[in-house]
Amino acid sequence: MANFLIVEARFYDHLNDLLLAGARAAIEAAGHTHETVMVPGALEIPGAVALASESGRYDGYVALGVVIRGETYHFEIVAGESARGLMALSMDGLAIGNGILTTENEAQAIVRADPAQANKGAGAAEAAIAMLELRKRFG
């Protein structure tokens, strides 16, 4: 049994509730445990994962959040830099599932977050579990 940390950027509560439900269900269905921490936004997720990794308490990480395109360039920065930060941590050997949605509008985010539809929260958790298995295989 592995212990996962779900790090969620709780900016859109109603969307994050959907992502979180999917992620928790997938982790529990695989027989693992989880804890959840909240951060202000998607840019803070990689930093929280890095800090948590130093504790040695977690076997893998699930990043959850929603970034919806607005009228400014901020969308590209948040989407790109949060993904870059998670990728860097992954390349350092952490088992991470990236469930940060980057959408054009709220309707797209709902479809992707909803466990009854695209269920991207579960997908991120399943990715983290798969990466942990690979780390065990090659480690």
Instruction: Confirm whether 14 is a catalytic residue.
Output: no
Q: What pLDDT sits at residue 66?
A: 97
Out of 14, 32, 34, 74, the active site residue is: 74
pLDDT digits (tens, 9 = 90+) for 83-95: 999 999 999 999 9
d(CA 118, CA 6): 19
Residue 11 marked as a ligand binder: yes
Domain assignment present for 121: yes
Instruction: State how far the Cα of 104 lies from the Cα of 88, in Å rounded to an integer.
Output: 25
The answer to whether the annotation marks 95 as part of a ligand binding site is no
Asked whether residue 85 is domain-assigned, the answer is yes
pTM of the model: 0.97
Domain count of the fold of the chain = 1
Task: Report yes or no: 10 and 111 within 8 Å, Cβ to Cβ.
Answer: no
Please check the confidence at residue 132 and state whether its pLDDT lies above 90: yes
If you search the block for the tokens 């076997």, which residue do you land on? 59
**pLDDT grade, residue 73 (50/70/90)?**
confident
Report the C-alpha gap between 38 and 12 in whole angstroms: 12
Does residue 18 sit within a domain? no
The answer to the question of residue 47 being in a domain is yes
* Tens-digit pLDDT profile for residues 15-64: 999 999 999 999 999 999 999 999 999 999 999 999 999 999 999 999 99
pLDDT digits (tens, 9 = 90+) for 82-126: 999 999 999 999 999 999 999 999 999 999 999 999 999 999 999
Q: How far apart are the C-alpha atoms of 20 and 84, rounded to whole Å?
A: 22
Amino acid 27: pLDDT: 99
Q: Concatenate the DSSP letters of all residues of 19-48 into one string.
A: HHHHHHHHHHHTT-EEEEEEESSGGGHHHH
Which residue range(s) make up the domain with 90? 39-138
Query: What CATH code is carried by the domain that includes residue 124?
Result: 3.40.50.960
Contacts of 24 (CB under 8 A, 6+ apart): 6, 34, 36, 121, 125
Check whether 71 is labelled as a binding-site residue: yes
Residue 44, marked binder:
yes
Q: How many C-beta atoms surround the C-beta of residue 5 within 10 A?
A: 22
